[in-house]
Chains A and B, each alone.
Chain A
Amino acid sequence: MDKPVEKVFSYIDAHQDEYIELLKSFCAQPSVSAQNLGMKEMAQTVQNTLNGLGIKTEYLPTDGYPIIYGELPQGRGRTLTFYNHYDVQPPEPLELWESPPFEPTIKDGRIYARGVADNKGSFLSRVCAVDAYQKVCGDLPVNVKFITEGEEEVGSPHLDSFRVNYPDKLKTDGIVWEGGSKDINRGPLQVTLGYKGLCYLELRCRGANTDVHSANAAIVPSPAWRLINALGTMKNERDEITVDHYLDCLIPPTGQDMAYLQNLTFDEEATKKSLGIPAFINGLTGIPLKEKWLYQPTLNIAGFETGYTGKGDKTVLPCCAMCKMDLRLVPGQDAEQAYRLVRAHLDRRGYTDIEVVKLSGKNPFRTDNDSRLVKASLKNAEEIYGMPPSVYRSSPGTTAMGTFCGPTGIPAVSFGIDHAESNIHAPNENIYLEDFINGIKMTAAVMHDFGADD
């Protein structure tokens, strides 16, 4: 390991208490975007903290909560951006917390508080890395930018306008994305190189102008059956998506993508047991299971409602039916195209009367495997955590990474300070203090290698 990084690591170790105090002060400030709780105060704290590092910050208002943007030009050849968010999930249900959600509490090597994992801990691991590097080396090895939004937990509705309105601020050579976790049982660090996209649709079908007595069911068209029959043409019992041309454009995983799966730990028995299911879809196991999980698109029914669903029976023929679907997308697909294929599929089968409304869309993205940022992240994860990282070529979930990186091609990598039982979005959210400190070191080392001469 390079000498300057070793010194930075020593500095971080020596200043652990100071950094943990900073984390506690951040977690003590509520910032619940869904409930408009403490958002202004938190944005101000973020801005002040970045200013304290000598970063030139801007408070960028949006139609929702502001984005705090900051940049620290160092006259370096490369620029590294840290994307994070300062908002947190609502703390409810409060009665399930063992310590108050906004009173950070240290117990058995862990710190408990809402937001300590998602995403304040990871955000501060970036902040503290910059601080330690500056204190030891004076300058940073890269130009640094911070993009910290306040609406991630409500779907990042204004991130795309940031991309469109501030192309110069987005300009960078790589993004360290949000945060990340570790495998269960204090296993290896997870490094995520991409995410599935998401197209969220609502299908609506209408029949008569009123619910009618079900005695008429022999002759009056039923929108519920129509929607059921239409859905029956879109996916079969083997879980194969049968929307016309839906799979035509998928970019298949590469040999390297498949190789990543080999080293990925996934405890199938423990997962089935915890979910209470006898088998995964199609009885899949091993590599084919992981491949479907991470590399295949989905067509999920998130909700369906029609007619009478209360107690007992109501012999009614409902006049409308509605289905919510979320479609996870993989490279080769995009949200608008997925919507259009569903529309065309229905039209071709005469279901022109079924309305399809696109409620939201995020495109899939995978970072170039060979990018400098990927290499720097993988190398340092192994050195700092003592074992090779679990590389997620794609997460099965979705973030706004595609919003920034899809149109620009900027490489992005996610890693952070969570662990498998961090309870994000749930009561008793927590991280290990050790993971927080390691996260600071990891960020510092990635900065260092990313900026180093070849």
Chain B
Amino acid sequence: MISPEMEKVFRYVDEHREEYIELLKKFASQPSVSAQGMGMREMANLVRDNLRNIGVPAELVETKGNPIVYGELDYGCARTVTAYNHYDVQPPEPLDKWDTPPFTPTVKGDRIYGRGVGDNKGSMLSRHCAVDAYLKVHGRLPVNLKFLAEGEEEIGSPHLADFIRENPEKVKSDAFMWEGGTRSLNRGPLHVALGVKGVTCFELRCHAAKGDLHSANAAIVPNPAWRLIWALNTMKNEHDEILIDNFYDSVKKPSAEEIECLKTLPFDEKATLDSLGLDHFINNLTGVELQKKLLFTPSLNVQGFRTGYVGEGAKTVLPSYAFCKLDIRTVMGQRPEQVMELVRRHLDRRGFTDIEIIHHNSTLPFRGDPDNPLFKAVVQNVESIYGMPPAVYPSTAGSTGVGYMYELTGIPAVCFGVMNEDSRAHAPNENIFLDDFLSGIKLTAAVIHDFAEVK
């Protein structure tokens, strides 16, 4: 049931659709690639200025990396909710795979394409625009609201923990609307997530001779690429089983309720395979087993691998250096330092002491409580806006900084947003449906409205 107060807000959102889409285009036109240090300051300013424009006092809080944009509307209400988002995006490469330029947001049919429109500028603006519409219609919010947007999520949130420690008053809140979220293919149900996997990113490096050599020497001079290939083969087999010694020992098994929950999740396997151009998932998994693997099982992914000559044609070279970038998606029971220690011990035990491990960034896995009021406020509004009940995920397959936030503050969080399963986050042709952007604004507004009251 939509209350009359919310109907007014929703009507306002519909009437200002074009204005909000223009704002999304403006945000997506500004590159903000944290991994490459591109456009970060400009983007932070843009976020701060937009908060000010809608009437939220906002500032940049400097960190050792990119600044955090902080804004606050304090009405002295009993409850405070915080919108956590990030204004950085993934690198746009490979550029030749984009149908339209990544930083020239382009509407085609009912979708908008551009790097960051899904992850995370669309969701961030759904919070901004919700507040804008609510304030325009009602003059004030029924809760205190904080905005916290960081610029380093895509590189593992290396300075978020410092910010949390140094700014307890800014962080203090009753709940987080965390980052964003997705919905099923073909305008299926909205996903509301109570938890995430963690991620631990690292690099393996192997050096051999001082410089690249003529490959006539390959019979007697060690090849670092082969060493890395052999080492990787001891870490995962063809059945996708992670072979790192003791890797699964500490993994906390999902509860019976959580497994039960998987059965209710919509996942159109065929449509997903079709959209990816695949004919099977790993190990031909399907049904609950597929969901279990996706949501509750750790993964070991190769992000990138590079050695020697990779240009056109044949160059007979024996490379002197090889490196591989990997990420491990961790589940409850695993911690980044522990996982890195297991990798080191595993390699050492097999004689790969010469392979260097560079631990990049990590986030923690997190599992929230379905009893928290924010979760209820989200769930009770989904059906009236999306026309169908939400799909509740005990954990998503992805990772965010929410685990560190919870570990440091104990504040619960719920994730929902404007993407869909074909949004191609982190990949070429990232996109969202314009309607989902508008629905995300409405849902956020309704959540703000209900969070004040819900038990």
Contacts and interface: CB of A to CB of B under 8 A. Distances in A.
B233 A221 contact: no
A297 B230 CA distance: 19
Given A224-B302, A314-B90, A315-B303, A215 B197 contact: yes
Interface stretch (A166-174, A249-257, A395-403): A395-403
Contact of A214 (B94, B222, B301, B322): B301
A53 interface: no
Nearest to B331: A218
A398 to B, nearest CB: 7
Given A218-B297, A313-B360, A396-B217, A213 B426 contact: yes
A206 to B, nearest CB: 9
Contact of A304 (B219, B225, B398): B225
Contacts of A275: 209-210, 213, 221
A307 B300 CA distance: 15
Contact of B221 (A198, A236, A280, A294): A280
Contact of A276 (B210, B218, B276, B316): B210
Interface in A17-58: none
Interface string A223-237: 011101101100111
B304 A308 contact: yes
With a 10 A CB-CB cut-off, give which of A297, A307, A312 has the most chain B CB atoms.
Answer: A312
A239 B216 CA distance: 15
A273 to B, nearest CB: 10
Contacts of A284: 220
A281 B399 CA distance: 42
Interface string B279-319: 01110010000100110011111111111111001111111
Contact of B281 (A221, A235, A321, A395): A221
B427 A316 contact: yes
Interface string B183-221: 000000000000001010100000011100111111111
A113 B394 CA distance: 72
A72 to B, nearest CB: 35
Given A209-B277, A216-B397, A328-B215, A318 B304 contact: yes
A214 B329 contact: yes
Contacts of A236: 230
Contacts of A200: 314, 316
Given A305-B305, A311-B36, 12 more contacts: A155-B314, A212-B424, A215-B398, A218-B297, A220-B281, A232-B229, A296-B219, A301-B226, A303-B315, A309-B306, A324-B315, A326-B215
Interface string B213-252: 1111111111101100110110011101000000000000
Contact of B302 (A228, A289, A395, A397): A228
Given A293-B220, A314-B35, A315-B201, A210 B428 contact: yes
Contacts of A297: 219
A67 to B, nearest CB: 22
Contacts of A352: none
A214 B325 contact: no
B226 A235 contact: yes
Interface residues of B, number: 86
Contacts of A302: 215, 308-309, 314-319
A443 to B, nearest CB: 26
Nearest to B279: A221
A305 B310 contact: yes
Contacts of B306: 304-306, 309
Interface string A78-101: 000000000000000000000000
B429 interface: yes
A32 B326 CA distance: 43
Contact of A225 (B90, B155, B302): B302
A272 B219 CA distance: 14
Nearest to A350: B238
8 contacts: A211-B427, A214-B199, A303-B315, A304-B305, A305-B306, A308-B91, A313-B360, A317-B301
B425 interface: yes
B389 interface: no
A214 B236 contact: no
A382 to B, nearest CB: 26
A198 B220 contact: no
A289 B290 CA distance: 51
A220 B278 contact: yes
Ranked 3 nearest A-B pairs via Cβ? A209-B277, A232-B233, A307-B304
B107 to A, nearest CB: 20
B215 A280 contact: no
A208 interface: yes
B327 interface: yes
A213 B316 contact: no
A147 B317 CA distance: 29
B22 interface: no
Contacts of B425: 213
B36 A310 contact: yes
A300 B318 CA distance: 7
A312 B399 contact: no
Contact of B427 (A213, A235, A289, A296): A213
Interface of B: 34-36, 90-91, 93-94, 97, 154-156, 197, 199, 201, 208-210, 213-223, 225-226, 229-230, 232-233, 236-238, 240, 276-278, 280-282, 285, 290, 293-294, 297-310, 313-319, 322-323, 325, 327, 329, 360-361, 396-399, 424-429
A297 to B, nearest CB: 8
Given A200-B316, A220-B276, A397-B214, A307 B325 contact: yes
Contact of B208 (A277, A306, A317, A395): A277
Interface string A264-302: 000000000001110111001000010011101111111
Contact of B285 (A219, A229, A277): A219
Most chain A Cβ neighbours within 10 Å, of B298, B304, B429:
B304
A277 B222 CA distance: 8
Contacts of A210: 97, 276-277, 424, 427-429
A312 B428 CA distance: 18
A207 B279 CA distance: 10
Contacts of A307: 302-305, 325
B309 A303 contact: yes
A446 B277 CA distance: 65
Nearest to B399: A215
Contacts of A305: 305-307, 310
A452 interface: no
A264 to B, nearest CB: 13
A321 B306 CA distance: 10
Contacts of A360: 314
Contact of A208 (B35, B238, B277, B314): B277
Contacts of A316: 90, 303-304, 426-427
A237 B426 CA distance: 35
Given A308-B304, A313-B361, A314-B304, A215 B223 contact: no
A24 B293 CA distance: 72
A277 B213 CA distance: 12
A280 B209 CA distance: 10
B113 to A, nearest CB: 13
Nearest to B317: A302
Nearest to A425: B214
A341 interface: no
A228 B240 CA distance: 12
B40 to A, nearest CB: 13
A397 B426 contact: no
A137 interface: no
B303 A218 contact: no
